[in-house]
Amino acid sequence: MAFQVPRGTQDILPGQSERWQFIENIAREVCSIYQYKEIRTPIFEHTELFLRSVGESTDIVQKEMYSFEDRKGRSITLRPEGTASAVRSFVENKMHAAAQQPVKLYYIGPMFRYERPQAGRYRQFVQFGIEAIGSEDPAIDAEVISLAMSVYQKAGLKNLKLVINSLGDQDSRSAHREALVQHFQPRIGEFCADCQKRLAQNPLRILDCKKDREHELVQSAPSILEYLNEESAAYFEKVKFYLEELDVEYTVDKNLVRGLDYYNHTAFEIMSNAEGFGAITTLAGGGRYSGLVKEMGGPEIPGIGFAMSLERFLAAIDAEQAELPIQSAIDCYVAYMGDKAKDRSVSILNHLRKAGLSAERDYENKKLKGQFKSADRLQARFVAVLGEDELEREAITLKDMESGEQQEVSISDLAEVILSRKNGK
Ligand code: HAM
């Protein structure tokens, strides 16, 4: 029996992995510019961590976690997202005591959710995310959002839509919650079983239900924006002001609630508007969380962050036909004629590689013609041909595949000649 990858997962093969590396590098570069530092946390955590952070009433916790017991009977979960781990680590490593606040972190790594796979939705997917923990300044909200936009723009994406909302502080949320319960209670029987449970647990999540999205009561539900107290409204105004200062265009969507429980104040999502992009258009999502650090056993300090899936990022690049400048050509192919030259080509290849040149040779005993075909396939900029006669003279013929020019050079000078020709000297 031939094996296949598990449903909802994929192999990323050579030819594709270069694209992944390219966008990962963009993410790392932008993080370096904005001064976010990488954090690497375990891929599995204690299940309790996600119950406490992501929230018991969320789809993630209710239906989507890959949880199992380890050999000692502890409940372990493959991480479904990165914020919980980042905050756990922040608290565990007492990062709140660091001189520089907020602590600005980023991560890139696989996440796991048992969802129904479809285009853009996987069971294992890679998130790039950032978390800025320890500041209540609305300017950091705008910074986090603009960082996400910069990453997409650096890869050439143009058809982006940013939607923002405020979920308010605890008081605003309680008032809104009351209003939602009153709004839905009389007709909750018309809603799905999940929403009936949500009414008591977290009525805000009804607004995010995939099944009941079109219900008239969802459309007419009271907006959180009407329930923001003065402080929360002022905070939201400041975030919008700073976004304008940063030239980041946005739309306010009062129904944006996000699928995780830890948010308050700013919530946002970035969508692709590109034609031909699949049904799932959300590229990234994030927001502010005020109670999470405390919930994890730390001091009462807030954080804000976002995460984007690299799968959807690449799909958006494809939908917009944005070209990634990926260099796959090699510097030099070392071809040989005859056994002596074949043996010698091993050390010549090594010499080129030690000089930092990308180089390749034949390992299949191909004739010279076949070796040139390989060189073409590898888009070799130069082919160095070693014959027995030349070997006698410690020389090699260097062919420039762009101009067709040939020149004999001494083997000991080969790397240097290629390096200087490559740099246009
Ligand atoms: P989230 O909205 O659950 O938020 O996920 C963020 C992003 O992860 C989504 O916008 C999407 O790009 C990607 N994503 C989620 N599920 C899948 C899937 N099954 N397949 C492919 N991509 C997926 C969070 O995870 C929060 N931790 C974000 C955050 C960070 N909030 C504050 N800090």
Q: Which of 297, 277, 298, 306 lies closest to 164, judged by CA?
A: 306
Element (H, E) at 105: strand 103-112
Nearest CA to ligand 1 atom 2: 285
Pocket probe mutation, ligand 1, options 103, 149, 260, 310, max atoms within 8 Å of Cβ:
260
Nearest CA to ligand 1 atom 21: 121
Supply 295's token pair: 């919930």
The span from the CA of 205 to the CA of 208, in Å, is 5
133 Cα to the center of ligand 1, angstroms: 18
Confidence band for 338, pLDDT divided at 50, 70 and 90 = very high
Pocket probe mutation, ligand 1, options 112, 125, 266, max atoms within 8 Å of Cβ:
125
Contact by Cβ (8 Å): 297, 91: yes
Superfamily of domain 17-169+229-319 in CATH is: Bira Bifunctional Protein; Domain 2 (3.30.930.10)
- Residue 115 CA, closest ligand 1 atom number: 19
Same fold, 17-169+229-319 and 332-422: no
pLDDT digits 0-9 by tens, 33-75:
999 999 999 999 999 999 999 988 888 999 999 999 999 999 9
- Residue 313 CA, closest ligand 1 atom number: 12
Give CA separation, 127 vs 82, 118, 234, 333, 337, in Å: 8, 17, 32, 37, 49
Query: Where in the chain are the domains?
Result: 17-169+229-319, 332-422
Nearest CA to ligand 1 atom 3: 259
172 Cα to the center of ligand 1, angstroms: 25
- Residue 305 CA, closest ligand 1 atom number: 33
Contact by Cβ (8 Å): 385, 335: yes
- Residue 127 CA, closest ligand 1 atom number: 8
pLDDT digits 0-9 by tens, 98-147:
999 999 999 999 999 999 999 999 999 999 999 999 999 999 999 999 99
The span from the CA of 319 to the CA of 311, in Å, is 12
Q: State pTM to two decimals.
A: 0.93
129 Cα to the center of ligand 1, angstroms: 9
Supply 105's token pair: 């972190």
Nearest CA to ligand 1 atom 10: 284
Collapse the DSSP code of 365 into the 3-class scheme (helix H, G, I; strand E, B; otherwise coil) and give the result: coil
What b/e readout covers 379-388, taking b as 16+ CB neighbours within 10 angstroms?
ebbbbbbbbe
pLDDT digits 0-9 by tens, 351-396:
999 999 999 999 999 999 999 999 999 999 999 999 999 999 999 9
**Residue whose tokens read 């804000």:** 304
What is the crossing angle of helices 17-34 and 138-154, to 10°?
150
Give CA separation, 60 vs 8, 261, 275, 401, in Å: 16, 10, 29, 54
Q: Which CATH architecture has domain 332-422?
A: 3-Layer(aba) Sandwich (3.40)
Pocket probe mutation, ligand 1, options 59, 127, 268, 282, max atoms within 8 Å of Cβ:
127
